[in-house]
Homo-oligomer: A and B are copies of this chain.
Amino acid sequence: MSGTQILDSLLALSQVLEADQARELERRGLTQPRTHLLWVLYQGGPVTQAHLAEAIGVTPRNVTTLVDALEATGFARREAHPTDRRAVLVHLTERGLSIMETMDAEHDALGSDLVAGLDDETVRVTADALQHVLTTLQRLVAEHAARQDEQAEPS
């Protein structure tokens, strides 16, 4: 059945993409969680650690560790929040900005390279189908989670 074939290709692609990315990041002195944090800074400008915790889906405690590491390696820096003395604003350094620009460009290049050799119509159909699969998956996951909650607390 082709559905299984699509899922297996998706899983294989995930694995290869992630392994390649991890190798690249290590070469540059980064890790995936730290890069995720830098990406949020690259997209949304200087933000508080509480905002980062929410954005990347970890506890504030772990943001402390990630920012410590990124400060130590020169990719980000803390600055005092102008109005809230409890908070800090995390900024990209020049080095951090430069590496995010590089990775952004590499991402675009990879997007093009991956479909080299496929004709435009195939690319269009595939892009639409993947969008549909993603939407379907999100719906399935949401339904699944709802069912679990129901079983957990049948109030």
* A131 contacts partner chain B, Cβ-Cβ < 8 Å: yes
Chain A count of residues within 8 A CB distance of the other chain = 54
Copies of this chain assembled into the complex: 2
Chain B residues, CB < 8 A from A23: 145
Question: What 1/0 mask marks residues of chain A from 111 to 132 whose CB sits below 8 Å from any chain B CB?
Answer: 1111111101011111111111
A residues neighboring B (CB under 8 Å):
1-14, 16-20, 23, 27, 107-108, 110-118, 120, 122-134, 136-138, 140-141, 144-145, 148
Not counting A7-B114, A16-B138, a sample of 16 additional A-B residue pairs whose C-beta atoms are within 8 angstroms of each other reads A3-B113, A3-B123, A6-B115, A6-B130, A7-B111, A9-B127, A9-B130, A10-B10, A10-B13, A13-B14, A13-B137, A14-B17, A19-B141, A20-B141, A123-B129, A126-B126
30 pairs of residues in contact across A and B, judged by CB atoms under 8 Å: A1-B111, A2-B115, A2-B120, A3-B115, A3-B123, A4-B107, A5-B111, A6-B115, A6-B123, A6-B130, A8-B111, A9-B134, A10-B10, A10-B17, A10-B130, A13-B130, A13-B134, A13-B137, A14-B17, A14-B18, A16-B134, A16-B137, A19-B141, A20-B144, A114-B140, A115-B136, A118-B129, A118-B132, A122-B129, A126-B130
